[in-house]
Amino acid sequence: MRFRNRSILLFITALWLGGCSGPPALRTLAQDAVAAMGGAEKLQGVKTLAMKGGTGTRLRMGQMVKATDQENPAQLKDVVDIVDLGNGRASLDYALQLGGFMQHRHEILTKKGDKSIGIEIVGTRPIIATTPGGLFSWGTQNSPEFLLRRNVVTIALSAAESASDRQPAIDKELNGKMYKYGTAQTKSGEDLGLYFDPQTRLLAAYEVIDTESILGDVPAQYILSDYKTADGLTLPHHITVRKGGKDYSDVQFVSIAVNDPATEQVFAIPDSAAEEADKAAAGDEYSPMKIVKVGNGVYHAVGYSHHTLIVEFPQWLALVDSPYTETQAKVLFRAIQEQFPTKPVKFVAVSHHHYDHIGGVRTSAAMGATILVEKGNEPVLRPLLEARHTHPQDELDKRRNSQPAQQAGAIEVYEGKKIISEGGQSLELYPVSFPEHVDPMVLAYASSARALFQPDLYTPPAAANGGPPAQHLLQALKQLNLRVDTMVGGHGGIGTFADFLKAAAPAASSN
């Protein structure tokens, strides 16, 4: 009884406080935060934000040697993050360094007419266009679309609109400091947790569920600091993102330009990608894809930068790798259905657990394929296949959660070598440790064409010195006693074994 009376008393007090002074209602805090940033009118007038000169770090790239290893952060430099709130466009431009790997990358979500399309510019590769789901980023976010949904102006405005004027804020700690905390919604109805700084009244952090292409639904935390004046607004210049309780990205920007007309040019479609941009704007899903014959019953499905091996059996097909994005996987399966209309994809084997080579595996499972995973790759692949993907919902999540649930392919874990054979065709899978890149890497051998497929160790058809990974690969092929005629790349193209031998020869000493 005592407790019951006490809770009634607390309830009445809360109502009274909500109506009068005392702990401020959440809406008041959210409106104060908007006022501290420059006011609702000015924030609503923001069309473009260009955050420039960023330096920092990025994790959750999935480039570990073993699937269970801790990740090392990549360094981000020259980061320029741009959002165009008026037109639903965004751009992630940055230089990335991870150990000895360096790449300048630029992913752009833009418009062709009223259709959203993606433009991808990576190093010196040809510039390509895709539908938006084909974009994959190692910048501050998983894709430019996230910048649009998670930028501070959009979040602050939706908090001020959706926060309750009845809900009193509670005190909550974050990183050793006390904040006023409460909940609201984004424009699309996602739940937001909001931390307001009681001294500055600014929005110090917010929490939301992010659907990451590999990690699936993860609780994400955006910590906003170093608020400074930029074109009459007060905006955070330091943004720290944590996902699933782990560091994700952390970038300090030098400056932010608001509504700068010069920002426009980043969204222009480059001439060299104009033809592809038309395709991306016309079809349902588009990313570059062509199927090339390797030899008897063996094909190479060539995407933008990450490729697939197709092995044809009498009744069905087996693939090795379904890389990059859900969009690429959809385009891959469409191309396969056109070329092999009577043959379902029965198996998709995974070469290794690096995120850039497994982004289409969930889609492959949704298409009914059994996903063949060597035990060493399981710690990444099993959670990838089991995760929820709700916002937006992907094909696998849709199938599993429809009423009644629809059939989808399952994971099949094997240990050591695995050989699939039927009707004179065989696909042989050999896990080998390559500690210079990944452990294990599953080398895939298609017997009918004497073709060997692997990504990342050697890129066919190069004959130039391939360094230790190529030498190590040659050693492994000798130990496995495989008779190889043709090398097929998870990157690059198709090459002869003779050229691979040149690439795998020890470097001649130059002095």
- Would you say 98 or 209 has its CB closer to Zn ion? 98
- Would you say 358 or 408 has its CB closer to Zn ion? 358
Min dist CB 436 to Zn ion, Å, is: 11
Range in contact with Zn ion (rule: CB under 5 A) among 128-136, 178-186, 359-367, 452-460: 452-460
- Would you say 125 or 187 has its CB closer to Zn ion? 125
Min dist CB 177 to Zn ion, Å, is: 40
Taking CB under 5 A as the criterion, which residues in 205-234 touch Zn ion?
none
- Would you say 107 or 456 has its CB closer to Zn ion? 456
The 3-class secondary structure across 449-493, one letter per residue, is HCEEEECCCCCCCCCCCCHHHHHHHHHHHHHHCCCCCEEEECCCC
- Would you say 182 or 489 has its CB closer to Zn ion? 489
Residue 227: phi and psi, rounded to 5, are -65, 130
- Would you say 106 or 353 has its CB closer to Zn ion? 353
Min dist CB 459 to Zn ion, Å, is: 12
* CA 66 to chain centroid: 20
Min dist CB 356 to Zn ion, Å, is: 7
- Would you say 330 or 491 has its CB closer to Zn ion? 491
- Binding-residue pattern over the window 54 to 93 for Zn ion, x denoting contact by CB under 5 A: ----------------------------------------
User: Could you tell me the two tokens for 469?
Assistant: 């990974």
DSSP for 170-206 reads EEEEETTEEEEEEEEE-TT--EEEEEE-TTT-SEEEE
Ramachandran bin of 50, using left for φ above 0, alpha for ψ from -120 to 50, beta for the remaining angles? beta
Min dist CB 119 to Zn ion, Å, is: 24
The DSSP output letter for 402 is S
Q: Give the whole-angstrom CA distance, residue 456 versus residue 453.
A: 10
- Would you say 48 or 351 has its CB closer to Zn ion? 351
- Binding-residue pattern over the window 402 to 431 for Zn ion, x denoting contact by CB under 5 A: ------------------------------
Q: Give the whole-angstrom CA distance, residue 377 versus residue 281.
A: 36
Strand pairing partners for 452?
A: 445, 487
Q: Give the whole-angstrom CA distance, residue 169 versus residue 234.
A: 23
Q: Is 439 in the site for Zn ion (CB under 5 A)?
A: no
What kind and span of H or E run contains 288? none
Taking CB under 5 A as the criterion, which residues in 349-368 touch Zn ion?
354
Min dist CB 359 to Zn ion, Å, is: 12
Cα 304 to Cα 301, 351, 460, 462, 492: the distances in Å are 10, 18, 15, 18, 10
Q: Which of 267, 456, 484, 495 binds Zn ion (CB under 5 A)?
A: 456
State the residues that interact with Zn ion by CB under 5 A.
Answer: 354, 456
